[in-house]
Amino acid sequence: EVQLVESGGGLVQPGRSLRLSCAASGFTFDDYAMHWVRQAPGKGLEWVSGISWNSGSIGYADSVKGRFTISRDNAKNSLYLQMNSLRAEDTALYYCAKGGSIPVWGQGTLVTVSS
Amino acid sequence: QSVLTQPPSASGTPGQRVTISCSGSSSNIGSNYVYWYQQLPGTAPKLLIYRNNQRPSGVPDRFSGSKSGTSASLAISGLRSEDEADYYCAAWDDSLSGPWVFGGGTKLTVL
């Protein structure tokens, strides 16, 4: 069974940093692109960032470009999101998602940016 | 403002058939597959439809998807109370909007 488990969320002050992790299992991790998608409280879904299977292609939403960095470690079946210079508007549930023809999402980790 | 356009709400009575529309453009729905997600309160989105009209294993055949041009729709037949949820459409996008774009979501109420 494909499983994605996010971790690393929490309460952080504006301007500080946080690193999210996603542990993948049940599939060949380095066969797939991976993504981060977020959902602000009471709002819709927003793609945040994506990375190809070999990290050769990386993309970011304009809202996080220059502040967030996506990375992966295929040896550890893990995906990461380094979030710097956090803002109140980054408060959201962050989901890790497997690419491919049948996307799979994790349960999410909550990031709250507040003083 | 979401890239894909969905009605904010829809409703139906038990047993009815309801449809939810999703409108996009040539760079997303017009040239790529459409996906549909169901989000029950307090839970992560669940994939209902992939590649326009395919159901993952475990999704009842009451749920069906279709696509025509730059629009898509999700149909739910034999509506049940447990279908009350938020529904999102999604598609790949070939422009600068990002690989994945989403609709704003449709809140389905079972009356």
Confidence of residue B73 (pLDDT cuts 50, 70, 90): very high
How big is the A-B interface in CB pairs under 8 Å?
46
- Of B44, B47, B101, Cβ closest to residue A102: B47
B100 with A50: Cβ contact below 8 A:
yes
pLDDT at B97 over 60: no
Pick from A96, A107, A93, A84: nearest CA to A15: A84
Q: What is d(CA B80, CA B14) in angstroms, rounded to the nearest whole number?
A: 5
A46 with B102: Cβ contact below 8 A:
yes
Q: What is d(CA A20, CA A7) in angstroms, rounded to the nearest whole number?
A: 6
In order, the DSSP letters of chain B are --SBB--SEEEE-TT--EEEEEE--TTTTTTS-EEEEEE-TTS--EEEEBTTTB--TT--TTEEEEEETTEEEEEE-S--GGG-EEEEEEEE-SSTT-SEEEB--EEEEE-
- The confidence score (pLDDT) of residue B94 equals 85
Spatial contact of A14 and A87, defined as CB atoms under 8 Å apart? yes
B44 with A107: Cβ contact below 8 A:
yes
- The confidence score (pLDDT) of residue B99 equals 80
Q: What is the pLDDT of residues A59-77, one digit of tens each?
A: 999 999 999 999 999 999 9
Chain B CB within 8 Å of residue A44 CB: yes
pLDDT at A100 over 90: no
Residue B51, min C-alpha distance to chain A (Å): 7
Confidence of residue A101 (pLDDT cuts 50, 70, 90): confident
A103 with B50: Cβ contact below 8 A:
yes
Q: What is the pLDDT of residues A15-63, one digit of tens each?
A: 999 999 999 999 999 999 999 999 999 999 999 999 999 999 899 999 9
B105 with A105: Cβ contact below 8 A:
no
